[in-house]
Amino acid sequence: MGIDERQDEDVMLAEMAEDGARPDDRIDDERLDEENTLKPEYVRAVRDALDAGENTTVYDLVEPLHPADIADLLELFDKDDRAQLTAAISDLMSSDVVAELNDYVREDMMEALPADAVAQIAEQLETDDAVQLIEDLDAPDQAAILAEMEPEDRAAIESALAYPEETAGRLMSRGFVAVPESMTVGDLIDYLRREGDLAVEFFEVFVVDASHHPVGTCALSWILTTPRQIALTDVMKRDQTLIPVTLDQEEVALMFQKYGLISAAVVDEDGRLVGQMTVDDVVHIVSEEAGEDTLLLSGAGDGDINEPIRDAYSSRVRWLVANLGTALVASSIIWFFGAAIEKLVALAVLMPIVASIGGNAGTQTMAVTVRAIAMNQLTRSNTGRILWRETRVALLNGVTIAVLIGIGTAAIFTPMLGIVIAAAMVVNIIVSGLAGVLVPVAFERLDQDPAVASSVFVTMITDSMGFFAFLGLAVASGLVG
């Protein structure tokens, strides 16, 4: 955003504030509830006005909203209502709104627009947001949109699209401030005043050598608190965290967290500065990466409520079919013990308890392990210690549950059946605990995402072992036949 532009906007805002037409801060906004989401009454008012065809009322209702809240509003509507709403507020559909939209909703809306309209929106966005806008479209659509864009913007987007998805090269901002080592603080300030429009958002200035390799970083607050005559090389921090352009977004997010970064230089394979990543973009990645494990572990795929039904069906049913396979393995074990169950139906009544509690214990351990792997807390250096820790927790859990179920079963059925189920429970909970650590660790060592496939294997192990331990011990103890 350039200086002039900002001042104009600001004058406008100031006038509105004087008129009392716009609240000074959003926290008191009467359209938002205490969780900062749009109130149902407000959404209903918009919907009613839309249904009644009162487009001016709709516009007046939506106009005071922050772009992020307009995006939220669009997401709350279904596809048809959304198209109608978009038409009613087309003036308010700024690039800021588009940038804030959920990926699926945005893709949906872009597919409905002609290429030149999408190109126009893309040109108003920062490169990283523009890339997000078009990266999920079909190749012909992408080409059509790029063809409509200014050569400079097109080149920036094409360069980003040349990097794999979810890497720093895709996500980085190509606008940043890089200055030579010879500058003083005063030179830098003069330079920035002269070249006001050079970057939309920056929190640090990168100092580079003649071949454009970063040699240091200056936080803006240091520059502002330092006398003009001091050389940048005396105020900059030399100990930098540089991000390779091909680094995966998950690793980028972990680096920002680990080193408390506010922005970082992205460098190409020759170590030359090609872009920057800023923490406000990384926040979204952190949220996405940390949240997706819940969804992956449950086999819910992307798990976005805006995902088209056919995609949600396809990712979820695949996982259910895989689990049908593991359930059949467990069933075949029961089949093997069919004769014993025929003689003592109590076995059929009790066997799901052993499997179910084992499954829960395995899920607990697996969740802890997957999270620790994702946060780089569980590495080769402490796997043994964590396995031993989880074994001890499993032993404590196993004994506690075994005593409870053992006494109950002994009281209702027979003491011998109580002993059998208690023993089976201890065995199964310990096996589950071990599986909960070892399965995700094994996937990690094989360079597979432990959150994706661990559940199926852990469930198979806990179910099968639950039925096998209980029914096997029942037969071995001479309880039946």
> CB-wise, 338 or 415, nearer to a second copy?
338
> CB-wise, 150 or 228, nearer to a second copy?
228
Instruction: Give the DSSP letter of residue 382.
Output: T
Torsion sign over Cα 320, 321, 322, 324: positive
> Tokens 């031993």 map to which residue?
388
Tell me, rounded to whole angstroms, the distance of Cα 419 from its chain centroid.
46
The least CB distance from residue 409 to a second copy, in Å, is 10
Residue whose C-alpha is closest to residue 300's, from 326, 323, 318: 318
> CB-wise, 24 or 116, nearer to a second copy?
24
The least CB distance from residue 23 to a second copy, in Å, is 8
> CB-wise, 84 or 364, nearer to a second copy?
364
Instruction: Report the C-alpha gap between 221 and 412 in whole angstroms.
Output: 72
Q: Could you give the 3-state DSSP secondary structure of residue 92?
A: helix
The least CB distance from residue 118 to a second copy, in Å, is 22
> CB-wise, 113 or 456, nearer to a second copy?
456
Q: How many CB atoms within 10 Å of residue 122?
A: 25
The least CB distance from residue 447 to a second copy, in Å, is 11
The least CB distance from residue 80 to a second copy, in Å, is 12
The least CB distance from residue 139 to a second copy, in Å, is 29
Instruction: Report the C-alpha gap between 137 and 160 in whole angstroms.
Output: 15
Instruction: Report the C-alpha gap between 285 and 296 in whole angstroms.
Output: 16
- Which tokens is 279 given? 């923490």
- Would strands 178-180 and 204-208 be described as parallel, antiparallel, or unpaired? parallel
- Which tokens is 98 given? 């588009």
> CB-wise, 40 or 114, nearer to a second copy?
40
Given a contact cutoff of 8 angstroms between Cβ atoms, the answer to whether 80 and 47 are in contact is: no
Instruction: Report the C-alpha gap between 103 and 97 in whole angstroms.
Output: 12
> CB-wise, 10 or 158, nearer to a second copy?
10
The least CB distance from residue 470 to a second copy, in Å, is 12
